[in-house]
Structure 1
Amino acid sequence: MLGAAASGIGSAAASAVGTSVGDEVYKYGKELFHDVSRRVDNDLENNYERLIEHAEKLCARRDDILAQAKTKQVTQVCEAWISRVMKIEKEVQELETKYKKEKSKKRTFNQLWNGSSESRAELNKSMAEKCEKWHNLWLEGKFEIGMVVKKLPEPRLKLNMEGMTDPNEIAQQICGELKSKRCLLLLDEVWEVLDLPLIGMYDNEKDSKVVLATRHRHVCYDMETDEEINVQRLSEASALQMFKVKVGRNANLPGIEPIAKLVVNECAGLPLLIDKVASIFRRKDNFHLWNDGLRSLRRWPSIKIQGINELIDYLKFCYEDLDDEVKKVCFLYGAIYPEDYEIYIDYLLECWRAEGFIHDANEFRDARGKGHSILDELINVSLLEKSEKINHVRMNKVLRNMALNISSRSCNFKVLVKPREGLQEAPNEEEWKQANRISLMDNKLCTLPEMPDCNELSTLLLQRNRDLRSIPELFFGCMENLRVLDLHGTGIASLPSSISCLKCLRALYLNSCICLRELCYLEGLEHLEVLDIRDTRINHFPIQIGRLIQLKCLRMSLSNFGIGNSSNVEFPQNVFSSLSLLEELQIDVDPNNRSWEATVKAITKEVATLKHLTSLSICFPTVDCLQSFISASPLWKDFRFTFQFSVGYHDSTRYQILDFFEYQIRNCLKFANGEGVDPIISDVLLETDAFELIGHKGASRLSDFGIKSINKMRGCLIEGCDEIETIVHCNSEGRSALECLEKMYINNVPKLESIWEGPIHAGSLARLTTLTLRRCLKLKKIFSNGMIEQLFKLEHLSIEECPEIEEIITESENNGLKPDAFPRLKMVVLSDLPKVKSIWTDDSLKWPSLESIKISMCQMLTRLPFNNDNAISLRCIEANQSWWSALVWQDDAIEKRLRSIWLQSSS
């Protein structure tokens, strides 16, 4: 006990001594910390100031060099130096942010004691290293003038033209000088056809080139250019990048990035506008100025903004240069739709026709043709542009603002345009009175004025106001000059009686009015030419349609026929017979509701007698029904007649094949769940551009329908056909097959063993650009002997879920394959091919156009047919990590080259 007590006392004493010493150490350490902290802070501040100084000196030297070389060609060494300096601006911003963050922190001795003060020291060290690095970079930038600017070649001609006045003599002398030389002629802003021989540019054997830039597409056509490149608007990312480069360092100010994106969005991807706007924002050096600049830009064109108005004057010149008033008013009409809105071309042309813009074409077909010519002209001069969505156009926001500005100063084109503004209440009646074209589409309107006074109104767009449940009874009472009325996608259940007042109405759109049950009061629409009542709740045939004797285009659906009112499913006789001027007819059905079958059979008999029909889209329930129409109609084989025929029942009435084309297909046939080879199908195939064969039985190959019958088709989709074994079988005496085929899609054809059997005659598959094979369980051979030689236009190849394929290009079928095979192939997709071991046996093919290859679930494919010299256009190999790691390489150089373009996928 005594020992224990003594031990305890000793420990306490030692503890007391330790605490005393610790206090002294802590106190000393604290003083030392404050001293060190002051020194670190001083060093940090000094290094930060040095950093900014070096960055400014570097940027100043870069700007001097750029100014020096503004009209000259910079050397590669100088370009590399400038590129390195460009990256520094971002580094400065990052270090500046870190510095301010560190400066704002309150440092304590306990943080130092606990080892959490490393970040400030690391930042200090990083700044010091950057200072040294940037100083050396500044020294490297002391270029001599010869190091900045490349020595340009001597002039290509040095001709003495003194005393020459005859253009032919001058041209001959230029031609003589160029005869033995290879030259490049660049022509910008070409407004009309240029006679190249007139300036001495004749064809020569030295492969000279002429590159021209023009806003008028006809110039390219008339000058017979070999290739046309449509310069698209910049993408969002590219536009933002260009804007930042033009603005310079002010684009990197704190909080500016979100505003910069909004500013760029206002420029609609137009490089000229981005350049002008960037020059304005380059002078704004704080958040408030940027915010105010964005506000001003959004108010333009109601306020003047220096620089932009000059650009608009330039664009307006293209408008003023249009050679007639019809084209001008057609352009202005595009502004009543929202900015960048994708306008369906057929709909737009119908509105132009209804408005009277196209007044010198009696037939609807001719009016469409003239409308397409006007549209093409507007696209050619860049006042409208083609959308990525097929058969659609759009007007970008800059040109739309210009059009609205022009309309505001016009007496004959006063517009009230408020689409997509979230309106819940309609504009006041005074605004209605002043306008002759009103667009309130895509809002949240619940009500409309009782009887607005707008006798001059010719177009009223109210589509997709889904909360609009009813229209006041007298609403249309003072709109006797209305020509276009679009109510599609609204919530209305019926039409008001005042619609009968619309004596001048030419186009009425009620499609997708899913609550609309009745079609009443149409007898007064004596000049109506277009009526669209697809996808409504109407469950019987509206007999009033028969009284619209001027009707030229009718689109309707039978999907609800017989639902809830089976007694009215009967088709009234002589309705279509009375529509003697009808040119275009589209009838949609619900594939899951067969109650429309009897109605279609009755309709078919009357439609076949129409003398002016030029376009028909309809679903025939049976081959016999199709036969009935074909045998009775004198027009269907007329070269001007277009059709979309669906025969038989299928889950979907959509024509999938049409989605794969970048242009409009005229004639399409879908044959679903049929049997055998009926002569009437072969007969229709003779006129068919795109064919879908779905769930067919009783045929082992497509060519059973006749080689001649399938030769016109441009697109072919074969799906779920359990008995198809090959696509084409040819004998040695046969003719070429599938001469016009551009796109082929084969999906879920379990017995397919090959695409081609027998000899392949010249011209077969000569236009094929896309081949897709999916879920072909027995397929082993894709390209049979001689097939690849015909595929010189193939661009896209996709093979998926074909478990028996071992080689994409089978060696036994393609002995002696030339290196220039597949000259245009751009994209290859290989997916879920468990047995595939090779694309091609070696790296002998050139693959000159191949840009991307996507590979997934091909675990036995361990070699790629590429080397350091072939596949020069390859930019992307998309595959997962495990597959890439298992690849076998001929040498490290190839692996290094391809690794740089490998994109890791998640699959």
Structure 2
Amino acid sequence: MAEALLAVVGAPVAAEVYKDGRSILNRIRRRMDLWNDLEHNYKRLKEEAGKLSARRNDIENEANRYKTKQFTEECKDWISRVKDRENEVQELETKYNNKYTKRKAGVLKPFATKRINLSKCMEEKCVELQQLWSKGEPLVERVPLVEKPPERVTHAPETKCKPSSLHRAVEEILRHLKDPNVRKVGLWGMAGVGKTAIMETVNNNAHDFEIVILLTVSKDWSIKKLQQEITQRLKLNVEGIDDPVEIAHRISVELEGKKYLLLLDEVWNVFKLRDIGIQENQKDSKVVLATRNYNICAKMNTDDEVHAQLLSENDAYLMFLEEFVCRNVDLSSIEQTVKLVVRECAGLPLLIKTVAGTFKSMKDNSALWGEGLRNLRRWPNAGVQGMDELIEVLKFSYDELGDDDTKVCFLYSALYAENCKIYEDHLLECWKAEDFISEREKGRGILRELTNRSLLEGSDRINFVKMHKVLRNMALQISSRSNNLKLFVRIPDKQRQPPKDIECQHVERISLMNNELGRLPEMKNCSNLSTLFLQKNLSLKVIHESFFEIMKNLRVLDLHDTRIELLPSSISRLTRLRALYLNSCLLLRELPICIEKLTCLEILDIRGTMINKLPIQIRSLKKLKCLRISFSNVGRGQSSDVEFGEDVLSSLDLLEELRINGHKDILELENVVKPITQKVASLNDFTSLSIFPLSKKNDHFTFQFSVGGHYSTIYQILEYFEYHQIRTYLKFVNGEGAPPAISEVLAETDAFELIGHMGAKNLSDFDIKSINKMRGCLIEGCNEIETIVDGDSLQESALEGLEVMCIYNVPKLASIWEGPVHAGSLARLKTLILRKCWSLKTIFSNGMIAQLSELQNLKVEECLEIEEIIMESENMGLEPVVLPSLKTLELLNLPKQREYNQFGTY
């Protein structure tokens, strides 16, 4: 047959046909082999995949031994390809398990092609796995590793309980970090207030940065230590380099181009960031520093500051419960005692933690809790576990004061009762009487220093400060070990019996204030005593005749708000006394004749007593600089009283300050006051005159006038200014209309308060020209005022110098500005606060918004009818960004308010 075929077609063609036939036959055989070898190939595939996975696991396990290292890019690529092949093997396994690929009785089915293709894929995959396994062999012998890059953030442990004050501080800092104009933020507050917790929370929630670096600067900091921590955090190799300048350069280069956040906790001293390698021109990078001392924020040029506040009572209670957590203990049965314990912690997180740890052992035993509470109240006299350690944490702030005068001023502040709001002027006068300071301005500087270092804190009343109870206890402990400032303080507890444990010969300052003492203790050997606080003992009516006999060095005596009727004759022994406070001694009828022997007396306060005329004895007080007196009944138009007052005052050549509380009847009182004020105005050293009610300013000195309201001398508007910025104040209380004399004084006034006024419907009634220089204005409880400025009555700009405006409880106020607003009006306004203005529906209207380019702070609270921030008709012509300087916006309890969009984002 073959020969015949060859003969017919020819040898070449036959050879080709034969060749094709064999090829077809081989392909058939190959397919048959693949069909038959599927199970074998599947088994091989599993074996090769297992070998490769084992090699990958060995390499990864070896690498996991080094937490700070990671694979090279080459090794990462190999592992990635291995994982890809593992996924492909998994897919082939899935297909293999499909029922249509199984062999049945050796019969080829129509779907055998799937089986053949799967077998072929497995065969080829086995070859790939073998090759990949071989390439991994060098990696097993020496796993190629390099240092891991620094993590974006190293998460810090956060407090379980997040009080609202901590949350607010964190939110405020995060908001500053999003502001492109803010480069550095300062967080400041007293020790133990939670600054570290705030910084750790910011660290964990600052998501917009490529790298976040949290460092604790600590007391024993140095440039070298900070650089070491930064290089470790950045995993920057500076081995063998000792030059801080070179290390700073390396750090700067490493951070160049990165958007970083540097958090510096516990900053104790000022230093230059560039000295550690932090350049201030890095794009979008930020620095936050936490410190006890506000001055450090200022000196390190922070753009914004956040004050870490004490906890509210509710937050403190919740934090205490969180820290207390004790199994099988239910505190509900002693809840009131628990709250009293928490109240003793005075909102200080560090103290809350300490006390909670101490009270855990008491569980829910009411007797033990009661005893613990009593000890806590008597501390530091009663030992409380952990408290001494807490004092040492706080004491460093005191040690850092450096200046001995500042230290002694701080310790002196502990004489005031716990939680007492300390009137700044009283404190300054006592410091001066004790010779701690030579002039008031230096005292103001020390007050700022103590406040900035969080050793004293501001009060909710302007011109008042207070001392946290823990810091007060610290001051008392320090004074007990001091050689030159021994204090004895009886903790106010409504005590009626005088203390018996005063070691007078060792004590220099004594405070028994805010008790209910009916009699005073025996004071023997008190020759070293220089300050005696007896104020606010309402049961004290009599002082023994010989009480002051041996207090020859006493310089400050405070008896105000007691019920004494007479001063004992031994008062004459106080020949070095400089400050005598008898104000609010309601039953005191007269000053003894012997008071004329107090020739060193500089301050005498007899306001609110039954003394209704200037005692003639005052003529002998040649060093008197400050006199405060009430004229509630004196005068009544009698010229003899006037002449008598003039005669007394003319003898006081060194008088600097006169404060007179007077009768409501201005016309009658003016007959008495006017000649007296003319007399003191001629005194060479006279600087300050406060009269209730009306008087006028002398051209040669600044003034503080309060007209018509003898019950208050506190100027609320001053809290928005530094103490030295405002020198002339006028408060007009319960007045009617716009007297020309008021407008005349207003023309020279920096700050004006209009309280409880009747008649005037706007400030324009007081002659707008007279208030154009005003920097601060507060309007409160004025029931007739409908608008602040009537623009229709103006031909020129108004309130050009106004920086702060506060409007409280003005029920008929319908607008701030009515009518046209001339260019330059309100051009310097930075702060606007509105509270309880029931009729106000719109804040900014009639072109007013365009003038407020300097407005930084806007607060609107409990204005229940407010519907719009900006009048809708004004919105159309506004620039895309209005109020360009606005930093803080607070809108509280405004149920009808609906327009926010004109402020952009905030």
For this structure pair, what is the TM-score category when the shorter chain's length is used for normalisation? 0.5 to 0.7
Equivalent in the alignment of 1:182: 259
2: CA distance, partners of 1:238 / 1:611: 55
CA deviations over 1:41-66 (Å, ceiling 9, x no partner): xxxxxxxxxxxxxxxxxxxxxxxxxx
Check if 1:505 corresponds to 2:505. Answer: no
Contact 1:730 1:760 in 2 (8 A): no
Aligned counterpart for 2:393 among listed residues 314, 330, 339: 314
Shift of 1:818: 4.7
2: CA distance, partners of 1:778 / 1:184: 44
1: CA distance, partners of 2:715 / 2:403: 39
Aligned counterpart for 1:602 among listed residues 675, 695, 703: 675
Contact 1:449 1:472 in 2 (8 A): no
- Please tell me the residue identity of whatever aligns with 2:618: I
- Which secondary structure state, in structure 1, belongs to the residue aligned with residue 436 of structure 2? coil
- In structure 2, relative to structure 1, the CA distance for the partners of 1:410 and 1:168 (3 Å cut) is closer
CA deviations over 1:744-772 (Å, ceiling 9, x no partner): 43876979876153344257254242354
Shift of 1:222: 0.6
Q: How does 1:425-824 map to 2 (within 5 A)?
A: 425-428=497-500, 431-448=503-520, 452-520=524-592, 521-562=594-635, 571-592=644-665, 595-619=668-692, 621=694, 626=696, 630=698, 633=699, 635-636=700-701, 641=702, 643-646=703-706, 650=708, 654=712, 658=716, 661-662=719-720, 666-670=727-731, 678=740, 681-682=743-744, 684-692=746-754, 702=764, 705-707=767-769, 709-717=771-779, 727=789, 729=791, 734=796, 737-745=799-807, 755-762=817-824, 764-772=826-834, 783-787=845-849, 790=852, 792-797=855-860, 809-818=870-879, 820-821=881-882
CA deviations over 1:147-203 (Å, ceiling 9, x no partner): xxxxx9799844332343333333233223323121100111111112111122222
Shift of 1:304: 5.3
Q: How does 1:354-365 map to 2 (within 5 A)?
A: 354-358=433-437, 361=438
Shift of 1:589: 1.3
- In structure 2, relative to structure 1, the CA distance for the partners of 1:691 and 1:429 (3 Å cut) is closer
2: CA distance, partners of 1:446 / 1:721: 45
Aligned counterpart for 1:278 among listed residues 356, 367, 377: 356
Which has the higher mean CA deviation after the structures are superposed, 653-662 or 754-763?
Answer: 653-662
- In structure 2, relative to structure 1, the CA distance for the partners of 1:498 and 1:377 (3 Å cut) is same
CA deviations over 1:125-149 (Å, ceiling 9, x no partner): xxxxxxxxxxxxxxxxxxxxxxxxx
2: CA distance, partners of 1:751 / 1:215: 42
- Please tell me the residue identity of whatever aligns with 1:407: S
Equivalent in the alignment of 2:894: 854
- Please tell me the residue identity of whatever aligns with 2:754: E
Which has the higher mean CA deviation after the structures are superposed, 320-329 or 505-514?
Answer: 320-329
Contact 2:777 2:805 in 1 (8 A): yes
Equivalent in the alignment of 1:140: none
Equivalent in the alignment of 1:113: none
Shift of 1:209: 0.8
Aligned counterpart for 1:327 among listed residues 384, 389, 406: 406
Contact 2:485 2:509 in 1 (8 A): yes
Contact 2:787 2:813 in 1 (8 A): yes
- Please tell me the residue identity of whatever aligns with 2:319: M
Check if 1:223 corresponds to 2:304. Answer: no
- In structure 2, relative to structure 1, the CA distance for the partners of 1:654 and 1:395 (3 Å cut) is closer
2: CA distance, partners of 1:376 / 1:651: 30
CA deviations over 1:799-843 (Å, ceiling 9, x no partner): 8698xx9866433344333564467889xxxxxxxxxxxxxxxxx
2: CA distance, partners of 1:811 / 1:852: 21
- In structure 2, relative to structure 1, the CA distance for the partners of 1:746 and 1:199 (3 Å cut) is closer
Contact 1:785 1:814 in 2 (8 A): no
Equivalent in the alignment of 1:269: 347
CA deviations over 1:299-341 (Å, ceiling 9, x no partner): 5444655543222222223323331332222222222222222
- In structure 2, relative to structure 1, the CA distance for the partners of 1:455 and 1:698 (3 Å cut) is closer
- In structure 2, relative to structure 1, the CA distance for the partners of 1:566 and 1:490 (3 Å cut) is farther
Shift of 1:536: 0.9
Contact 2:746 2:770 in 1 (8 A): no
Q: How does 1:355-394 map to 2 (within 5 A)?
A: 355-358=434-437, 361=438, 367-394=439-466
1: CA distance, partners of 2:460 / 2:903: 32
2: CA distance, partners of 1:300 / 1:774: 43
Which has the higher mean CA deviation after the structures are superposed, 324-333 or 493-502?
Answer: 324-333
Check if 1:864 corresponds to 2:898. Answer: yes
CA deviations over 1:346-380 (Å, ceiling 9, x no partner): 1111111112222xx2xxxxx21111222222233
Q: Which runs of 5+ in 2 are unaligned?
A: 1-152, 163-209, 213-231
Equivalent in the alignment of 1:66: none
- Please tell me the residue identity of whatever aligns with 2:452: N
Contact 1:508 1:531 in 2 (8 A): yes
2: CA distance, partners of 1:750 / 1:270: 42
Check if 1:242 corresponds to 2:319. Answer: yes
- Which secondary structure state, in structure 1, belongs to the residue aligned with residue 252 of structure 2? helix
Contact 2:663 2:693 in 1 (8 A): no
1: CA distance, partners of 2:157 / 2:425: 53
2: CA distance, partners of 1:461 / 1:595: 37
1: CA distance, partners of 2:613 / 2:391: 53
Name the TM-score, length of structure 2 as normaliser. Answer: 0.66
- Please tell me the residue identity of whatever aligns with 1:616: L
- In structure 2, relative to structure 1, the CA distance for the partners of 1:320 and 1:618 (3 Å cut) is same
- In structure 2, relative to structure 1, the CA distance for the partners of 1:580 and 1:696 (3 Å cut) is farther
2: CA distance, partners of 1:751 / 1:296: 53
- Please tell me the residue identity of whatever aligns with 2:443: G
Contact 2:462 2:718 in 1 (8 A): no
- Of all paired residues, the percent bearing the same amino acid is 42
Shift of 1:688: 2.5
CA deviations over 1:487-546 (Å, ceiling 9, x no partner): 111111221221111100010000001111112221110000111111111122222222
- In structure 2, relative to structure 1, the CA distance for the partners of 1:432 and 1:790 (3 Å cut) is same
- In structure 2, relative to structure 1, the CA distance for the partners of 1:194 and 1:555 (3 Å cut) is same
1: CA distance, partners of 2:781 / 2:291: 45
Equivalent in the alignment of 1:422: 494
- Which secondary structure state, in structure 2, belongs to the residue aligned with residue 574 of structure 1? helix
1: CA distance, partners of 2:755 / 2:352: 50
Equivalent in the alignment of 1:169: 246
Contact 1:592 1:651 in 2 (8 A): no
Equivalent in the alignment of 2:338: 260
- Please tell me the residue identity of whatever aligns with 1:274: I
- In structure 2, relative to structure 1, the CA distance for the partners of 1:153 and 1:478 (3 Å cut) is closer
Equivalent in the alignment of 2:66: none
- In structure 2, relative to structure 1, the CA distance for the partners of 1:777 and 1:184 (3 Å cut) is closer
2: CA distance, partners of 1:246 / 1:413: 38
- Please tell me the residue identity of whatever aligns with 2:252: C
Contact 1:429 1:453 in 2 (8 A): no
- Which secondary structure state, in structure 2, belongs to the residue aligned with residue 692 of structure 1? strand
Contact 1:726 1:754 in 2 (8 A): yes
Which has the higher mean CA deviation after the structures are superposed, 155-164 or 673-682?
Answer: 673-682
1: CA distance, partners of 2:533 / 2:390: 31
- Please tell me the residue identity of whatever aligns with 1:702: S
1: CA distance, partners of 2:502 / 2:808: 60
Structure index of larger Rg: 2
